Structure 1
């Protein structure tokens, strides 16, 4: 079993953790609100999403939105403007609640009744690595049938669990060189 990279980039390799690339791809599948939170329209859309029901308000509070209902109403009515810190808090809460709300549906789409989803692994960039230190890493594709651990960790925002699900769950099916895909340039899949 290959060990995890402890000094990634020491010789000039470039890339990101595979679970981070997969999380980015999952984020693109979720279809978050496109208008930035810094614009009034984007802020109001997020407020509406987080406050339209009592359940949504409770989820927003649990996700870290620490302002009172009165303050939320003042923001919605345009009587007050949120600070940068409050806008960041609003955006973080919105993203977490949105992930939790769509996780079950997304999991069904990715697992496709046991058929899974084809994933493309684009290897790390070794163009700056001296020839003797380069690894033989190529483009790979794999049909991933079990997304449960990855999607649950992504919905919870748990990076450590996502890393574990990626490294021991998804890439383990690549065979003996799965450790070579701990870092990648990109991960591609659609659902």
Structure 2
């Protein structure tokens, strides 16, 4: 694909891939539990979220939380504490289930019945790049009308699919879209 950066950061530029910035923003919009899983309150909040219905429990098991009902009950009652590995599994299962639950809502909010959502793209940081090698890259805005592929890839954790979906959208910036493959941040609201 043309315009892809092969040696990003070779001369000191800093930034992250655009699709990673989009994933961060979608994660922020998903509204995860703020208390860490290592705190009792955060652990209980995640366990209640994952066990409140049979459907939620099934999705949690599919997402990697494979413990017995007896163990879950002991964790909820405070009789036992999960190991570090199980805390990571709980956090991962929680984030996976939460993404799946909010994906449909976010998709409707971002598409806005075909009107789309305005996205602000803040260019990469070139402060460490020597003057002769700096490119003229400026703040850009883009109205994204089709969020289906982006939200679908984000909700399933498909990093390559999210990258491809994001590149499909930034091509609308014109012939210099490759300058926005790496960015400082991407902002939008739902």
TM class, shorter-length: over 0.9
Matched residue, 1:143:
143
Matched residue, 2:10:
10
Deviations 1:141-182 (A, max 9, x none): 011101000000000011111111111x22111111111111
Matched residue, 1:163:
163
TM-score where L is the length of structure 2: 0.97
Query: Is contact 1:2–1:178 with CA below 8 Å preserved after alignment?
Result: no
Query: Distance in 2 between the 1:66 and 1:132 partners?
Result: 56
Query: Distance in 2 between the 1:83 and 1:138 partners?
Result: 47
Query: Is contact 1:2–1:177 with CA below 8 Å preserved after alignment?
Result: no
Give the deviation of 1:2 after TM superposition: 3.2
Deviations 1:46-72 (A, max 9, x none): 001111111111100111112222111
Matched residue, 1:41:
41
Q: How do residues 23-34 of structure 1 correspond to structure 2 at under 5 angstroms?
A: 23-34=23-34
What is the count of residue pairs matched by the alignment?
Answer: 190
TM-score where L is the length of structure 1: 0.97
Question: Which blocks of at least 5 consecutive residues in structure 2 are unaligned?
Answer: none
Matched residue, 1:154:
154
Matched residue, 1:106:
106
2:92 corresponds to 1:92: yes
- Structure 1 segments (4+ residues) deviating >3 Å: none
Deviations 1:67-103 (A, max 9, x none): 2221111100111001111111100100010000110
2:51 corresponds to 1:51: yes
Deviations 1:24-67 (A, max 9, x none): 11111111111111111110110011111111111001111122
Matched residue, 2:174:
175
Query: Distance in 1 between the 2:118 and 2:69 partners?
Result: 44
Matched residue, 1:190:
189
Query: Distance in 2 between the 1:177 and 1:66 partners?
Result: 47
Give the deviation of 1:132 after TM superposition: 2.5
